[in-house]
Amino acid sequence: MTTSQSYIRLRFPRSEQDNLIQDILHSFEPLGFLDEEDYWEAYFDTLQWDDGVRGSFVEALRREDVSLPYDIERFEKENWNKEWEESITPVRVSERILIRPSWHKVEEQEQDIVLVIDPKMSFGTGFHATTRLMLRLTERVAAVGDRVLDVGTGTGVLAIAALKLGAASAVGVDIDEWSRENAEENCLRNGIGEEMTVLQGSIDLVEGPFTLILSNITKLDNIDMLPQLADLLEADGRIVLSGFYSGDGADVKEAMRRNGLEPLEDMHEDEWMAISGEKVRRSEERRVGKECR
């Protein structure tokens, strides 16, 4: 096979869908896989990973109902560690929100909310569409004084953004140990102290109530957790969900409504989607119930 001097790396967080995704990738003949404890990677030559292959891969995931966020990076053969670091450049997420790694200075505009995020091995660099969608919807629904829960905090990027948008406090929770460490480091980089707590484990560790919940995990994890998330949310509290494809939006909205959460707004980028919603007050639920009878 002709090879170029550059490669594509796909990185997936560990999940119960690993075998299924790896089977799909095998059919595209990757150069290899790298297995680590908390994530795994597949490597392709850039000549192999063209738009056709990428499209077929996304279609195969959709057919199998896999909606696991993953990172794609291109890197050069020579010196690729340095290349990788340099490839983490600032990302303009919205008119106000900008993400930059600590080693990359930027000229800030007066209105900029700059999030200093060093990614390490955690998800949440701003290079994935779901992170950007979450940030854009968070910017629209966040209120000064919010008490925020960030489920699957990764680098901590969403909770840090919410605090910079005026939240009073935030709890970030993640099952990964290095995400907890990385989120704590990123808090320090952003001058955030006691107002943010980072927990390692599941949402069972969390005590509410919250006024804003952010959750960028998978479609199935979001749907499974919705009853618990709805309980942790105050009446009139807001929620932002992502980590699923646009084609899965109807299922997620149905699950939201089942749990007393009214969808407010959708956002889409590439094949990904985020939805914001609001907790319906109990009295409104009762009123709606009466009108139905």
Closest CA relative to residue 173, chosen from 225, 223, 126 = 225
Span 106-135, contacts to ligand SAM by CB under 6 A: 122-124, 131, 134
Q: Are 108 and 114 in contact, with CB atoms under 8 Å apart?
A: yes
Question: With binding defined as CB under 6 A, does residue 243 bind ligand SAM?
Answer: yes
CA triplet 15, 163, 130: central angle to 5 degrees?
35
Which regions of 94-224 does DSSP assign to beta strands (E)?
A: 97-100, 113-116, 147-151, 169-174, 196-200, 210-216
Total of chain residues touching ligand SAM, rule CB under 6 A:
23
127 Cβ neighbours under 8 A, 6+ residues apart: 71, 73, 88, 91
Phi, psi at 92, each rounded to 5°: -85, 115
Question: With binding defined as CB under 6 A, does residue 185 bind ligand SAM?
Answer: no
Question: At closest approach, how far in Å is the CB of 131 from ligand SAM?
Answer: 3
Q: Select from 42-50, 58-66, 89-97, 173-181 the region that touches ligand SAM (CB under 6 A).
A: 173-181
Question: With binding defined as CB under 6 A, does residue 71 bind ligand SAM?
Answer: no
Closest CA relative to residue 175, chosen from 210, 147, 151, 211 = 151
Span 73-102, contacts to ligand SAM by CB under 6 A: none
Question: With binding defined as CB under 6 A, does residue 153 bind ligand SAM?
Answer: yes
Span 193-232, contacts to ligand SAM by CB under 6 A: 202, 216-217, 221
Q: For the window 29-68, what string marks contact with ligand SAM as x by the rule CB under 6 A? A: ----------------------------------------
Phi, psi at 206, each rounded to 5°: -90, 140
What does the binding site for ligand SAM look like in residue numbers (CB under 6 A)? 13, 69, 122-124, 131, 134, 151-154, 157-158, 173-176, 179, 202, 216-217, 221, 243
